[in-house]
Amino acid sequence: MRARRGFARRRVVYALLGVGVLAFAGFMISQALNTSLVYFILPSEYAQQPSQYQDRRVRLGGLVAPESVRFDDLDLQLTFDVTDGLATYPVRHVGSPPELFRENAGVVIEGRFSENEFVSDNLLIKHSEVYEAPKDGHIDIEALRESLQ
């Protein structure tokens, strides 16, 4: 009888240890996923809820605003405005611009917002074989979102 109690206690201890190990592994996996998750947003989405994306790494998609591109050859500082037609934000990027970078081009930039300016460390150009400028300066938000994803 005593041997059975000892066996039952060991089973309970092993079961509790197993549950503890699984809970710890689940916690570690959720922490890893939360730190590596990067949200994709448009400038107007950021404008609606800036506190939700503050101090968070995000991908910001939009169009390069006309007459906003400036490039400093000495410091390799690229600055421009990104817009979705509803909101516009200045972007600062260190490095040479990609070959296809130009005004009215679709871009996806990765980085963080810092005091109403987007600081980018990764710049991607969205392009297709056919380029169509927005008609009458009107930008379709849904079409922009689909083309950038």
For 25, phi then psi, to 5°, come to: -65, -40
Produce one character per residue of 98-121: b if its CB has 16 or more CB atoms within 10 Å, e if not.
eeebeeebbbbbbbbbeeeebebe
Cβ pair 107, 64 in contact under 8 A: yes
Q: Which two tokens stand for residue 147?
A: 């083309």
Q: What is the mean pLDDT of the chain?
A: 83
70 vs 52: which has the higher pLDDT: 70
User: Quick one: 60 and 128 in the same domain?
Assistant: yes
Number of domains in the chain: 2
| CATH code of residue 90 | 2.40.50.140
User: Quick one: 79 and 25 in the same domain?
Assistant: no
Lowest mean pLDDT among 6-15, 68-77, 116-125, 131-140: 131-140
Q: How far apart are CA 121 and CA 143, in angstroms?
A: 26
Categorize the per-residue pLDDT at 2 as very low, low, confident or very high, splitting at 50, 70 and 90. low
Domain carrying residue 79: 39-148
DSSP letter for each residue of 105-126: -EEEEEEEEETTEEEEEEEEEE
Q: Which two tokens stand for residue 128?
A: 């297709």
User: Quick one: 75 and 126 in the same domain?
Assistant: yes
